[in-house]
Amino acid sequence: MWEFFIKNNKFSYLFLAALISLGTYSVLIIPKESAPEVIIPVGIVTTVLPGAPAADVESLITNEIERGLTSLENVKKITSNSSEGVSAITVEFEASADIDSSIQDLKDQVDKIKQDLPSEAEDPFVGEVNFVDQPIMTIALSADISDFAFTALAKNVERELEELSGVSRVVTSGVRDREVTIIIDQTSLLRYQLSISEVTSAIRNANIAFPIGQIVNDGVSYNVAFEGDITDTSQIANIGIVTRGGQPVYIRDVATVVDGLAPAKSISRLSLDGQPSGHSISLDVYKQTGGDITTIAKLVNTRIEEMKEPGGILDNVKSKTILDAGADIESDLIRLSTSGIQTVVLVVLLLVIAIGWREGLLAGTAIPLSFLFGFIGLYFSGNTINFLSLFSLILGIGILVDSAIVMVEGINRKMKDYPTIDKKQASIETIKEFSAPLISGTLTTVAMFAGLFIVSGVIGQFIASIPFTLIFLLFASMFVSLAIIPLLASNFLKRRSQTKMEKMQVEYAHRLETWYKAKLTPYIYSKEKQWQFIALLNAGLFVAIFTTINALAGIVAGVLIYVTYLWRYKYLDTHNSGLFKNVFLWLITTALSVGVAGVLAFTVLPSFNLVKVVFFETGDIEYVIVEIENSEGTTKEVTDIAVRRVEEVLYTENDIESYVVTVGSGNQYGGGGTGEKLANIFITLSDDRKETSTEIVERLRSKTADIRDVKVSINQLSDGPPTGAAIIVKFLGDDLTELTELGNQSAEIFKSVPHVTNVETSTNNNNTEYVLELDRDKAAAFGLNALTISQIARSAVFGVDATSLTTIDEDIDVVVKLNIDNSSEVTSETTNNATIDALGRINIPTQSGEIPLSSFVTISLRESSSVINHEKGKRVVTVTADVNADGNAREAQTEAMSRIRSELSIPDDVEISTGGGETDESNKAFIEMFVALIAGVGLMIGILTLQFNSYLHMRYVLTILPYSVIGIMTGLAITQNSLSFPSIMGFIALSGIVVNNSILLIDMMNQIRKTDPTLDIKKVVLEASGNRIRPILLTTLTTVIGMIPLTYAGDLWAPLAYAVMFGLIFSVIITLLLIPIVYSRHPGEVGR
């Protein structure tokens, strides 16, 4: 099959040119993004019940809808949030569910339920939660201009940016829209015997414009349009309401018309270079689905620079790009591309030194060609270039050149060993010799990476780029090695007299082979040395495993394993026992050794973990988020006082380049909500900082620890996938008071656990509210009902949207408000600054005249739950926490949960759940990674059995897998990295790589046995091992060297690189001894 390309070289070169062109096109056109898009099928049902407290919203709305949603299919979890006036129910579907059909099913089900809801409730709104729809850029503008001018400026900039290709929308915060406020005077209202609703209706009815129809005159049809709309805000004061005593009553007679700005929903400030923050606006730029972030970001930056030119709309305006995902991606691309170039240079240089410059360059061509061909697969499969796929490309450099090295080395050897055959024949013979083991080796590596597709949920989507990229690269590499490399070799390699360098290479290769055979021989001929080596391997394996639990116990286990192995060898050697007894003794001695070590680990020996277990390492990130939450009901002005206390701390930091304050919303990059009690500070650290972001965050946490009247949470943006808080504990039941107490007690326990920070409970912000209890009999006597009275009271407190004026430039809301306290200094923002007694004095129109509200209601003050949460249809109180840089989420949660269960009295009807946090996600991910590993090994078993047609040889190849853990754990301990998700993924990648060396060895042994069946097995093993030592060491060295630049490419994925490097180094040493040993003892039959 593969010989086709050599025999038809003219077509092959044409085909190669076409593939290179298509690969180049794919590289240029493939979309680029910062991280993989993680799509979670989530729908949210929002229902408004105006004025209702949280408890009523729960019973009347939330419970009804939740019961109706139980029949939905593919639902993973239903949670809800009942707060004052609003019910929000979140439905998370299984990751495999189709988002469009799932949301449609949800809408259909809600349509059936809404008829059972109270008539006062608004129709439920069903929407889709888009986790990937986050800003790609945030731009802050600051200027010493009026609010009116700032609002106009913001709208102009927003309009300019939204016109750019690829921009879906621009969201501006910190601006105030223009608004006309009608402030009604209660005394005038009473004088003219008017109600708020009459004033509102008069304004609404005065702003009418609609088509009347058509008239026909003299055979001609004319459209008739009625234009009674208000075209200028000055017209509002002259709108007539009613006639009293034959005289019209106008708006100006009962109210003050204020043409101004709407109350600010948020406060925004910008600080640059340590200077005090000044009033600013922030513009968040969102991209269209499928848009290229780098291209869109460049367009936005270009337009901003154009607007800053003299005479532009941003002339004399300070601007700062706070977040630029496009620039971040380009930085990642440059950094990782530099690592890739370094890797290629190092690999090719090694090959030139080891096998010659022609052969080295020829093998090196496999790297760019495999990349180009791999990009074809990535582009046409709909994948993108992100930091994960880019990392995978560089990870693949050391792997994909292995097959090319084997082929080039084989062709070179054929040409030297058989002077009579030409280059084409040497290439064809090499293909015949190596095609089977190389295809088998590629498929086993593919099998291991394919197992990663088993990982589900957020983590599965996040890492999917890695197996996709590497599988395409591996298949491209196999094609290049078996088709392109022999083609090029048959034309460009030359048979010539050896140069001095080549003679030196041959001499050193011979010395290496001789040295290796000399070291291997004692292990082939001495059974005692074989047992010593295997005992040492098993001892090392258990020491490595115990490094995450207790390294001292691991040493004890290792010593016991080693001693019992040697005892077992001597016992079996003298007693000539059978297989059953051998296995039985192995199980007993191993169990006793591990048991003793385990008991010592948890009793006598001090805790000594060489390797910590975490989910994802915390990297050095440029951005830090400070989240501030005040008590329920706090105004934004009061929240801002707390924010300024945090700012005083930030002014003392030299490593902060800039920050943006937003009072009125939480962290938009982490799903934060909105509300006047919330604020966030988005910090950009300076590039020349001397400390890592983790160290800066820890110091800021320490400096803000004395700010106790508000919650201050400080975290850095994550490089990894979204996982929520590090620790989440939930109490589910029916009694909210009981659950709240358990939550508060658990929070205190968590606060006492070392390294735990940001402890919060979901009920620590309960509200205080005034309750107006209606006297229904008295209301009925005056012809009133609950709805009428509540609407009048709500209009007085919140105001009423009367109408909207449409101008050329904007839509202007007209809002009617009541001056509740009859203050002479009232403004459009302070109409509801009043006592509860003043509210009770507002007049309610009745058949008998105006009567105060207090005549119909009893007013009382009470505490209430600001929010009632549900999960699984039950009430739930959640305790969340994070850990600092020195902490471990798994250990902290284990300690806290042990104390919670022992110290707290938990009723039988209360369920405790620890799901949803980093610990839960890591447990699930680790389990699925183990399943992926098992699945990969299962595929490898099938592939190897098919190749060798021998169960025994298949087992020999797989023997190396568990022992590679020794190298991985040693590497993590030496480099002080944790056993994390990336390092476990490195083990999976390593599992696909290390078996290739075993395949090459066993395949060579089988070929020699087929050629000379009478040759002594021990001589077969020595000859085959010596023959394969050079390609095995070359492929190992290229892979290890290929990993070195990755250790500097980012903290998040360095553990993966170290796992592969150290695991491969240890594995190749073990392979070069273990495979010859086991094959020489039990060679089995040659399958084919």
Residues 590-601: pLDDT tens digits? 777 767 766 666
Q: Phi and psi dihedrals of 245, rounded to 5?
A: 65, 35
Structure tokens at 1040: 């290890």
Q: Which residue has the higher pLDDT, 114 or 52?
A: 114
Q: Phi and psi dihedrals of 984, rounded to 5?
A: -70, -35
Could you give the percent of the chain with pLDDT greater than 70?
A: 90
How many Å apart are CA 750 and CA 761, to the nearest integer?
A: 11
The pLDDT of residue 34 is 67
CA distance between the termini of the chain: 19
The pLDDT of residue 64 is 92
- The CATH 1.20.1640.10 portion of the chain extends over 4-30+356-496+921-1081
Q: Is 507 helix (H, G, I), strand (E, B) or coil?
A: helix
Q: Phi and psi dihedrals of 483, rounded to 5?
A: -115, -50
Could you give the percent of the chain with pLDDT greater than 90?
A: 11
Question: Does residue 210 contact residue 246 with C-beta atoms inside 8 Å?
Answer: no
Q: Give the lowest-confidence range in 466-475, 637-646, 798-807.
A: 798-807
How many Å apart are CA 154 and CA 178, to the nearest integer?
A: 12
Average pLDDT over residues 504-511: 80
Question: Does residue 828 contact residue 258 with C-beta atoms inside 8 Å?
Answer: yes
Average pLDDT over residues 277-302: 86
How many Å apart are CA 852 and CA 869, to the nearest integer?
A: 37
Report helix, strand and coil shares of the chain as percent, to nearest 5.
55, 20, 25
CA geometry: angle at 512 spanning 506 and 517, to 5°? Answer: 130
The pLDDT of residue 65 is 92
The pLDDT of residue 248 is 92
The pLDDT of residue 616 is 66
The pLDDT of residue 502 is 66
Average pLDDT over residues 618-627: 81
CA geometry: angle at 1085 spanning 1083 and 1088, to 5°? Answer: 125
- The CATH 3.30.2090.10 portion of the chain extends over 178-208+221-261+768-864
The pLDDT of residue 495 is 62
Question: Does residue 287 contact residue 325 with C-beta atoms inside 8 Å?
Answer: no
pLDDT digits (tens, 9 = 90+) for 182-220: 998 888 888 888 888 889 999 999 988 888 888 988 888
Question: Does residue 452 contact residue 932 with C-beta atoms inside 8 Å?
Answer: yes
CATH architecture observed for domain 620-717: 2-Layer Sandwich (3.30)
- Pairing mode of beta strands 178-184, 811-818: parallel
Residue 428 scores a pLDDT above 90: no
Q: Which CATH number fits domain 42-128: 2.40.50.180, 3.90.45.10, 3.30.70.1430, 3.40.50.11540?
A: 3.30.70.1430
Average pLDDT over residues 787-792: 78
Structure tokens at 962: 């568990």
The pLDDT of residue 20 is 93
R_g (Cα) of the chain, nearest Å: 37
How many Å apart are CA 563 and CA 569, to the nearest integer?
A: 10
Tokens 């290179």 -> residue: 20
- Which contacts (CB < 8 Å, 24+ apart) does range 511-514 have? 512/1029, 512/1030, 512/1033, 513/1026, 513/1027, 513/1029, 513/1030, 514/1026
Q: Which residue has the higher pLDDT, 397 or 647?
A: 647
229: left (phi over 0), alpha (psi -120 to 50) or beta: beta
Work out the pLDDT band at 5, boundaries 50, 70, 90.
confident
Q: Which of 962, 989, 953 is nearest to 537 (CA)?
A: 962
Structure tokens at 839: 């509210």
pLDDT digits (tens, 9 = 90+) for 35-50: 677 677 788 899 988 6
- The CATH 3.30.70.1430 portion of the chain extends over 42-128, 620-717
The pLDDT of residue 240 is 92
Residue 29 scores a pLDDT above 70: yes
Q: H-type helices in 949-1016, by residue range?
A: 951-958, 960-975, 981-1011
pLDDT digits (tens, 9 = 90+) for 845-868: 887 778 888 888 888 877 666 788
Residue 18 scores a pLDDT above 90: yes
Residue 1088 scores a pLDDT above 70: no
Q: Give the lowest-confidence range in 313-317, 426-430, 684-688, 928-932.
A: 928-932
Average pLDDT over residues 627-647: 86
Residue 336 scores a pLDDT above 70: no
Fold of 4-30+356-496+921-1081: Multidrug efflux transporter AcrB transmembrane fold (1.20.1640)
Question: Does residue 78 contact residue 873 with C-beta atoms inside 8 Å?
Answer: yes
Question: Does residue 154 contact residue 172 with C-beta atoms inside 8 Å?
Answer: yes
Query: What is the helix (H) or strand (E) element at residue 319, kind and residue range?
Result: strand 318-324
Work out the pLDDT band at 917, boundaries 50, 70, 90.
low
The pLDDT of residue 24 is 92
Q: Which residue has the higher pLDDT, 686 or 494?
A: 686
Q: Give the lowest-confidence range in 217-231, 294-308, 567-581, 1001-1015.
A: 567-581
The pLDDT of residue 299 is 93
User: Looking at residue 603, what DSSP letter applies?
Assistant: T
Q: Which CATH number fits domain 178-208+221-261+768-864: 3.10.20.90, 3.40.47.40, 3.30.2090.10, 3.30.450.20?
A: 3.30.2090.10
Q: Give the lowest-confidence range in 128-137, 304-313, 370-379, 853-862.
A: 128-137
Q: Is 217 helix (H, G, I), strand (E, B) or coil?
A: strand
Q: Which CATH number fits domain 137-177+264-328: 3.30.70.1320, 2.60.40.10, 1.10.4010.10, 3.40.50.10490?
A: 3.30.70.1320
- Helices 325-355 and 366-380: angle between axes, nearest 10 degrees: 140
- Pairing mode of beta strands 208-217, 125-128: unpaired
Tokens 């250990």 -> residue: 891
Per-residue three-class SS string for 84-116? CCEEEEEEEECCCCCHHHHHHHHHHHHHHHHHH
- Which contacts (CB < 8 Å, 24+ apart) does range 1007-1010 have? 1007/433, 1009/1083, 1009/1086, 1010/1086
318, β-bridge pairs: 142
Work out the pLDDT band at 472, boundaries 50, 70, 90.
very high
The pLDDT of residue 723 is 54
Residue 638 scores a pLDDT above 70: yes
- Which contacts (CB < 8 Å, 24+ apart) does range 102-109 have? 102/41, 102/43, 102/74, 103/41, 103/43, 103/128, 105/72, 105/73, 106/43, 106/45, 106/69, 106/72, 109/68, 109/69, 109/71, 109/72
Q: Which residue has the higher pLDDT, 324 or 848?
A: 324
pLDDT digits (tens, 9 = 90+) for 1012-1045: 888 899 999 999 998 888 888 888 888 888 778 7
Residue 498 scores a pLDDT above 70: no
Q: Phi and psi dihedrals of 177, rounded to 5?
A: -70, 155
Average pLDDT over residues 13-40: 84
Q: Which residue has the higher pLDDT, 509 or 21?
A: 21
Displacement of CA 828 from its chain's centroid (Å): 43
Work out the pLDDT band at 604, boundaries 50, 70, 90.
low
Residue 640 scores a pLDDT above 80: yes
Contacts of 310 (CB under 8 A, 6+ apart): none
Residue 19 scores a pLDDT above 80: yes
Amino acid occupying residue 752: S
The pLDDT of residue 237 is 92
Work out the pLDDT band at 521, boundaries 50, 70, 90.
very high
User: Looking at residue 682, what DSSP letter applies?
Assistant: E
Give the Cβ contact number of residue 702 at 10 Å: 12
Work out the pLDDT band at 251, boundaries 50, 70, 90.
very high
State the number of CA atoms in the 13 A half-sphere of 433 facing the CB: 24
pTM to 2 decimal places: 0.68
Mean pLDDT taken over the chain: 82
Residue 906 scores a pLDDT above 80: yes
